Amino acid sequence: MADLTSFIARLPKTELHVHHVGSASPRIVSELASRHPGTVPSDPDALRDFFAFRDFAHFIEVYLAVVDLIRTPEDVRLLTYEVAREMAEGQQVRYAELTCTPHTSVLTGIPIEAFTEAIEDARVAAERDFGLVLRWIYDIPGELGVPGADATLGYVLDHAPDSLVALGLGGPEIGVPRPQFQRHFDAARAAGLHSLPHAGETTGPQTIWDALELLGAERIGHGTSAAQDPALLAHLAEARVPLEVCPSSNVATRAVASLEEHPIRAFRDAGVLVTVNSDDPPMFGTTLNREYAIAADLLDLDERGLADLSLTALDASYASDDVRARVRAEVEAYVAETGAAGASGPA
């Protein structure tokens, strides 16, 4: 893996399933904690211990602690810009669709106008400073039900920046049926946005069917349980609906028992488009580079296969044509530079 690790570290990448608050590293949290002294330690060494993943309950504890530190538009701007820095400099991400949950910030007292201005200011600065193109997915917090969805739809329809590409749906799946959000996704799609809900991570294949048939899903976040339904796999493959696969996250949340049992191979073998993503990377003790290394192991990929994995994510993205062309050219130039063998093209 040593040679592949080096190859992955410099491979230009696209990320499609990564969360805004969930990407706050100990370094970023340290700066936020120094602004708002309290229950979260600001010492970097203490924070590394605080972040060391133990179980899913601990992940929720860390996530909520970080949410509590995002109290002002300046905090939102800092978080966004520094997350972009780490994606670009540490993971060689060139394009990302970052999932934000604006309703969480509005509930803490940040007006939606100020939230939007903060993420947009950070987005423009990140592209200028790091060459990373960011686009937004506004996420319905599923645990807040229809009221949370109503509020999020209002932000999408009345306060959307031009860089917003999609409406998403996150939070717990158990006890949060997808059909109740059909009208929200209908309205967002009518406004020209894409439908990108999470589905089938901790529930069965029916949740994925609901996302496809009722919410008009164009990609599926996680989709882990699709492997249980051959008809669903065949449909995903035929309709070319990509899955946003997050292997380490799926193990951490116990959606799958172990990496060795992850269904990513079944997806690939069924002809389903697979993208690999990091979800909430520091909180799950991972990086996008590590997720690519895991995929290389599970799918028996060489350098060319890893490059094609990156291009599959690019093809599944909602990047503009000029961004797609630029990132594709960068991936192919890197392949040529490193001498990776094999025919080029999307997976």
- The CATH code of the domain that includes 115 is 3.20.20.140
Burial grade of 27 (CB within 10 A; 0-12, 13-18, 19 or more): middle
Q: Is residue 56 part of a domain?
A: yes
Q: Is residue 70 part of a domain?
A: yes
Q: Is 201 a catalytic residue?
A: yes
Q: Is residue 344 part of a domain?
A: no
Which residues have CB under 8 Å from 271's CB, separation 6+? 237
Residue 153 has pLDDT above 60, yes or no: yes
Q: How confident is the model at residue 40 (pLDDT cuts 50, 70, 90)?
A: confident
Q: Domain range holding 288?
A: 2-338
Q: How confident is the model at residue 178 (pLDDT cuts 50, 70, 90)?
A: very high
Q: What does R_g of the chain's alpha carbons equal in angstroms?
A: 19
State how far the Cα of 35 lies from the Cα of 47, in Å rounded to an integer.
Answer: 15
- Position 49 scores a pLDDT of 86
Q: Is residue 270 part of a domain?
A: yes
Q: Is residue 30 part of a domain?
A: yes
Q: Is residue 346 part of a domain?
A: no
Residue 319 identity: A
State how far the Cα of 90 lies from the Cα of 88, in Å rounded to an integer.
Answer: 6
Candidates 97, 120, 201, 303; catalytic one: 201
- Number of structural domains, the chain? 1
Q: Is residue 45 part of a domain?
A: yes
Q: Are 173 and 211 in contact (CB under 8 A)?
A: no
- Position 111 scores a pLDDT of 98
- Position 341 scores a pLDDT of 58
Q: Is residue 343 part of a domain?
A: no
DSSP secondary structure letter of residue 292:
H
DSSP secondary structure letter of residue 24:
-
State how far the Cα of 281 lies from the Cα of 270, in Å rounded to an integer.
Answer: 28
State how far the Cα of 41 lies from the Cα of 20, in Å rounded to an integer.
Answer: 21
